[in-house]
Amino acid sequence: MVTQLHSSQSLRNRLAEFRLIPRVETCPKVVSFAQTSLGRITMLATFGLGLCYFVPNPFIAMFFTSILAFMTFMPEYRHFILAVTPIAIVILQSFKEPLLLGLNLAVMALGIVLYWCTRRWPESRFGQRPVAFLLTGFTALIVFACAATPRSLSYSILWDLVGFMTSYIWFIAYALIDRSSKPARDLTLELATFHPLWGSSTVPFPKGAAYLRRIEAQDPERLAIVQLKGLKLLAWAILLAVFQNLWYGFFHGYLRIPMPDQALAMSVRGTPVAWHLRWECQILAFFELILGFSVMGHRFISFCRMAGFNALRSTYRPLSATTIIEFFNRFYYYFKELLVDFFFYPTFLRYWKGHRRLRTVFATFAAVLVGDSFFHLTRDWQFIQRDGLWHAIMGYQASFVYNAALATGLSVSQLRKRGHRPTGFFRGRLLPTFGVCLFYTLVIVFGSEGRQFSVVQTLKYLASLFFIRW
Amino acid sequence: MKGKQEIHEFVQSLLTGNGDNGSLADDDSLLISGRLQSVDAVEIVVFLEENFGIDFAQIGFDRDQIDSIDAIYALVEAATNRN
């Protein structure tokens, strides 16, 4: 009996330890090899080959691999290369359009000037609340752009400026909150983070220059380990991307299950959609979100690691989350960090200090309802340009409900007492994970990116999942 | 060193609560390494406010300040000297 227990325990341990991609970075021989010239070339060549999966042009993949090779063999120039290469790329891409190039470089310069101002006058009003000033200024710019006469020169300049500011705003914001960290000897890394070489969405991967300085590999052994982790992550990204293609091909191509927006549109038009089909496309949408964000995040972070920075993954085992807050943390880490850094902490540290629960809820709503809404409204500035500010806000109504529901779920999740979780596989693991997945599957009904459905239409669709019709 | 012991026990309890039963040295990175999350950082902030009277709204908040037990203790000492 004891032997049986032991063998089942060891099987469980072995299963828990199993990795589809082995943990090569923990093997001393591999780490030693990765520090040799041959090892480095092998790693870089493998990474370059892997990169071709995502970068269809082999010359571009080769260019990025060469840049990585420079940084690997001459780490003392890493910051300089990271700062200069993206600017050179921007200049090469848009030198035929001097106005756009000028605006792009002007926004970068603005970021550096603002950063310098926070360092120079830390006690000023701006130095105390630089991000608040930045976001207020950005909002004012959007309002000015809305007020400009359509098709005039000022109109196109202002909207181009809004576009560039949107690309840089959160990168600049990270530079500004880095003011309280140890002063840097040079600003090259600050400049590098405004336009990361490894790519990024409007969310900074992985945060700002102060964070990069903390996670940078400082010796050849550490660099080898970090690069091996980068290589593994790229392999994982490719595997997931292949799986994603098969998934879409099977479910939406072969089985013809509609995308959630299509199902919602059909429902709004009065075209009957079978009950099970509505559920299927919602469940698929949940997994597709995870897959999409995983592939994107892994691509960026794998490159970042190859460049010598041991950044955490953006998506890390989200399906192992047993609480709503844990899933939020694991699903899209750097977006969550953005909301936490710029909205949650500033609110939490200032307001309702004597009321523990209230301050948590208040700060969570500030982060998710205000922060998330602001982020997405401004990110999709083309809607504002096309429809005007008021109509764009009205078009965002379903997303407001999404954010409110998410904020409520996250607040409840945080308020539930620590240490009183049920144990056992079913009650401690399976049931909570199912609950978390169900919550997000339902809440993403309101998260349509197309902005074409009202709250009432979306609510009706949600209710129809439970056979409720009105 | 009483304060440091208290901090150590508190951080250890946070790690245990997250299912992390690994060893904890005073200079181990907590947040940047990913062992603790931003929700845990909030717990640390409240713990320092309630037990050591630290007001982050006044002194400014940076995760570096609470990234290890040593860093937290240095913060507590600085706050005590200021008072």
Global ipTM:
0.89
How many C-beta atoms lie closer than 10 Å to residue A421's C-beta? Answer: 15
| Rounded percentage of chain B residues whose pLDDT exceeds 70 | 95
Given CA atoms A230, A231, A233, A237 in this order, what sign does their dihedral have? Answer: positive
Q: Please give the Cα distance from A331 to A175 (Å, whole number).
A: 24
Q: Which residues of A371-380 are buried (b: 16+ CB within 10 A; e: fewer)?
A: bbbbbbbbbb
Query: pLDDT-derived band of residue B83, with 50, 70 and 90 as boundaries?
Result: low
A400/A279 same-domain check = yes
A158/A234 same-domain check = no
Among the three residues A193, A216, A239, which one is the final residue of a domain in this structure?
A216
- Plot region of A334 (φ>0 → left; ψ -120 to 50 → alpha; else → beta): alpha
Bridge partner residues of A216 (DSSP): A309
Q: Please give the Cα distance from B71 to B83 (Å, whole number).
A: 19
Judged by a CB distance cut-off of 8 A, whether residue A132 touches chain B is no
Q: Please give the Cα distance from B42 to A411 (Å, whole number).
A: 13
Q: Please give the Cα distance from A300 to A207 (Å, whole number).
A: 12
Which pLDDT score, from 0 to 100, does residue A66 have?
96
> Is the residue at A424 inside a domain?
yes
Which pLDDT score, from 0 to 100, does residue A291 have?
97
Chain B interface residues facing chain A, Cβ-Cβ under 8 Å?
17, 32, 34, 37-39, 42, 45-46, 49, 56-57, 60-62, 64
- Plot region of A207 (φ>0 → left; ψ -120 to 50 → alpha; else → beta): left
What single-letter amino acid sits at A299?
A: R
Bridge partner residues of A254 (DSSP): none
Taking the model in full, what pTM does it have? 0.92
What single-letter amino acid sits at A246?
A: L
Q: Please give the Cα distance from A126 to B18 (Å, whole number).
A: 38
A304/A158 same-domain check = no
Quote the number of domains for chain A: 2
Instruction: Determine whether the interchain pair B56/A349 forms a contact, defined as Cβ–Cβ distance below 8 Å.
Output: yes
A175/A246 same-domain check = no
Please say whether the beta carbons of A170 and A59 come within 8 A: no
> Is the residue at A370 inside a domain?
yes
Residue numbers in A near B45 (CB within 8 A):
348-349
Instruction: Determine whether the interchain pair B61/A353 forms a contact, defined as Cβ–Cβ distance below 8 Å.
Output: no
A359/A431 same-domain check = yes
Return the SS3 of A309.
strand
Among the three residues A196, A216, A236, which one is the final residue of a domain in this structure?
A216
Residue numbers in B near A336 (CB within 8 A):
38
A235/A208 same-domain check = no
> Is the residue at A470 inside a domain?
no
> Is the residue at A45 inside a domain?
no
A117/A265 same-domain check = no
Query: Mean pLDDT throughout B6-19?
Result: 90
Size of interface A-B (CB pairs under 8 A): 35
Judged by a CB distance cut-off of 8 A, whether residue A417 touches chain B is no
Chosen for mutation from B30, B38, B40, B49 (greatest number of chain A CBs closer than 10 Å) is B38
Residues of chain A with pLDDT under 70: 1-9, 11-12, 179-186, 417-420
What single-letter amino acid sits at A2?
A: V
The CATH code of domain B2-82 reads 1.10.1200.10
A315/A385 same-domain check = yes
A194/A265 same-domain check = no
Return the SS3 of A96.
coil
- The candidate with the shortest Cα–Cα distance to A233, out of A328, A331, A306, is A306
| Rounded percentage of chain B residues whose pLDDT exceeds 90 | 31
- Domain range for A120 is 74-216
Q: Please give the Cα distance from A424 to A286 (Å, whole number).
A: 26
Residue of A329, A345, A350 with shortest CB distance to B37: A329
A184/A248 same-domain check = no
Chosen for mutation from B27, B62, B66 (greatest number of chain A CBs closer than 10 Å) is B62
A192/A332 same-domain check = no
A163/A244 same-domain check = no
End-to-end CA distance of chain A, in Å? 59
